[in-house]
Chains A and B, each alone.
Chain A
Amino acid sequence: MSHAGRGTDYAGVMARKGEILRTACGIDYEEFRRGRLEFDYDGLMGSTGYDLDEIAAIQTGCKVGNTALLELPNLTRLARALAPPGYGARILMKDEAANASGSFKARRASLSVWEAKRAGYAGVVAATSGNYGAAVASMAAMRGLECLIVQETFDSRGVGQPEILEKARACEAYGAEVWQLTVGPELFYVHLLLLEETGYFNASLYTPFSVAGIETLGREIGEEVLALTGRPPAAVLTTHAGGGNVTGTARGLLAAGCGDTTVIGVSVDLRGLRMDSDLDFNRKSFTTGHTGFGVPFLMNPDRVDVPYNAARPLRYLDRYVMVTQGAVFYMTQLLAGLEGLERGPTGNTSLAAAFKVAQELPADDVVVVQETEYTGAGKHPTAQLSFARDNGVRVVRGAPRENVPGSVIAIPRDPGDLEYEEVDLRKIRAAYLRGQLSRAGVTGLSDLTTSEVSYLAAEIGLSEAECTLLLGETASAISP
């Protein structure tokens, strides 16, 4: 142990957070701080030292990227049957399950682990219950680095979420030491403790390395659709949790010259379930891609294991929509039964919304679902729905509005039931602004400098004029 004789008590370790994180990812975040609320985001993103071509080359070398852009003709035909005449965009899907470790998360892990090796770290640590753990473990295996994965797995009865048990199995298959923990935000404490103990690299989901690794995905989509149709995709749908997927994909689309593409974030609606509740933990069927992460990460992206989160989805999101757990399971079944592809389910969150979005767009438009993920024991809809039933959740056929997170999963009665619920991004942006102003101790609009207004406008993806208007309104509280 190398805690340098200092205690490992909760408060003591948390107080050393800044120091531990600085040592563990080789980025001096202070360098990017600009006053009380601004930071140099472009500078941070540029600090990886790799351009997109170099990242793509590194990824090719570790079995990542250049995944197939699959046509989904049968789902497109079904969407057109439900759409007004002349409507029903062509649905394409990027088969990210083909990456090493079976998900787009391999893109995020590839550059982080490459950097860890280059900088001379002996191992990597990541705190994640999702596909990212397997991705980091897989990359560490290729680079000959040790790997520790810390995941929230069990409730206090020792009952593990099946999808997370599967991730632990995969991590161990790749040679990682896996810490399986009970429910609680102290995951971060254990993460810090292990970083300090080992001196390993913090393969955080939220460093510029992690986000830059996804930019290749957005660029591939943009370039491939341009080559296929001569036009940028009308919309790209991205499953949204911590914000990296939206941010990296959107930045990659911009790099491919697809600035006019509508970027739509999609989360599973789990409103009402507490993420830190020992009782609620096993009443959800999605461990990521849901509103329990998606909404708070939009309102405050910096609630993470690094001082500044490189994933800043409000900068890039044009729309944010929610779908139900039942809709995603149903879509997973349709993908298997109509397109002959067993994938997901979590990766199909954006597909569930894309099916409806396609119906609202002209037939000569293209919508892209930007990921699939592998499926298997624990992850598969039958595993998740059986587990839900075992935990007292009712599974029925019904319309999306019949879903009650934690109590009822309604599998749509027919494809016409598939819909999404729009989230009011204006309220989210207002909540973001309120949080930023309060943390910086800003008392009112007149207290802000021109540069600060310009920074905040970029942060929420609005013009300065729109941002100023919203700043004026935030004084009168808007509940998120």
Chain B
Amino acid sequence: MDGIQRPRWVEVGFVVLRPDQRPPDLPPETRAVPYYARVKGFVAGTPAVGDTVEIETLAGRTIRGELLQIDPPFTHDFGRPVQELVEAGRDADRLLWPETDRPGADQVRS
């Protein structure tokens, strides 16, 4: 294996349709921008971000595009706590389990 670079997991992007190739009945803000695709796959060699490369996708197909990211990260998460939601849950809890009959309500930790 010496000297052989393992293919890297990357993301490429490419324009599918330029604005002038998009259908005419779109809202203006949509038609003003290109119709753009991103696909992930493996790339051979050591290309740099911005290079035009060919990737092999998980379906084994070849797709050409601009190299956008190497090891593209997951950017979605659980966000930040939403106080309105936390409060809402506590309020409903109190309705269902009024303080008097709520199990453990009389237990105070000191």
Contacts and interface: CB of A to CB of B under 8 A. Distances in A.
A179 interface: yes
A418 to B, nearest CB: 10
A442 interface: no
A186 B16 CA distance: 9
A166 B76 CA distance: 7
Interface stretch (B45-53, B83-91, B99-107): B83-91
Contact of A182 (B36, B58, B74, B92): B36
Contact of B88 (A81, A185, A333): A333
A382 B92 contact: no
B110 interface: no
A104 B26 CA distance: 32
Contact of B16 (A147, A181, A378, A382): A181
B39 A386 contact: no
Interface in A276-310: 276-279
Summarize A's interface: helix, strand, loop or mixed: mixed
Nearest to B94: A414
B78 A175 contact: no
A179 B37 contact: yes
B92 to A, nearest CB: 5
Given A276-B26, A382-B81, A415 B95 contact: yes
B85 A329 contact: yes
Interface in A175-205: 175-186, 189-190, 198
A338 interface: yes
B109 interface: no
B92 A386 contact: no
B11 to A, nearest CB: 9
Interface in B59-84: 59-61, 74-82, 84
B27 interface: yes
A36 interface: no
Contacts of A180: 37-39
Contacts of A156: 33-34, 36
Given A169-B76, A175-B58, A190-B16, A386 B82 contact: yes
A191 to B, nearest CB: 12
Contacts of B27: 274, 276-278
B60 A146 contact: yes
A77 B96 contact: yes
Nearest to B57: A177
Nearest to A380: B78
A307 to B, nearest CB: 20
B3 interface: no
Contact of B40 (A172, A336, A415): A172
Contact of A181 (B35, B82, B89): B35
Contact of B35 (A74, A184, A336, A413): A184
Nearest to A173: B58
A423 interface: no
Contacts of A169: 74, 76
A337 B93 contact: yes
A187 B91 CA distance: 43
B95 A383 contact: no
Contacts of B90: 337
Nearest to B90: A337
B75 A160 contact: yes
Contacts of A384: 79
A182 B33 contact: yes
A190 B90 CA distance: 47
Given A382-B80, A396-B84, A78 B95 contact: yes
Interface of B: 16-17, 21-23, 26-27, 29-30, 32-41, 57-61, 74-82, 84-85, 87-93, 95-96
Interface of A: 9-10, 74, 77-78, 81, 123, 146-148, 153-154, 156, 160, 162-163, 165-166, 169, 172, 175-186, 189-190, 198, 274, 276-279, 329-330, 333-334, 336-338, 377-378, 380-387, 395-397, 411-415
18 contacts: A9-B21, A77-B96, A146-B59, A146-B60, A156-B33, A165-B76, A166-B76, A175-B59, A177-B59, A178-B40, A179-B38, A186-B16, A190-B16, A276-B26, A277-B27, A278-B29, A380-B79, A386-B79
Given A177-B57, A181-B16, 12 more contacts: A78-B96, A147-B59, A156-B36, A179-B39, A180-B37, A186-B23, A274-B27, A276-B26, A276-B27, A329-B85, A382-B78, A385-B85
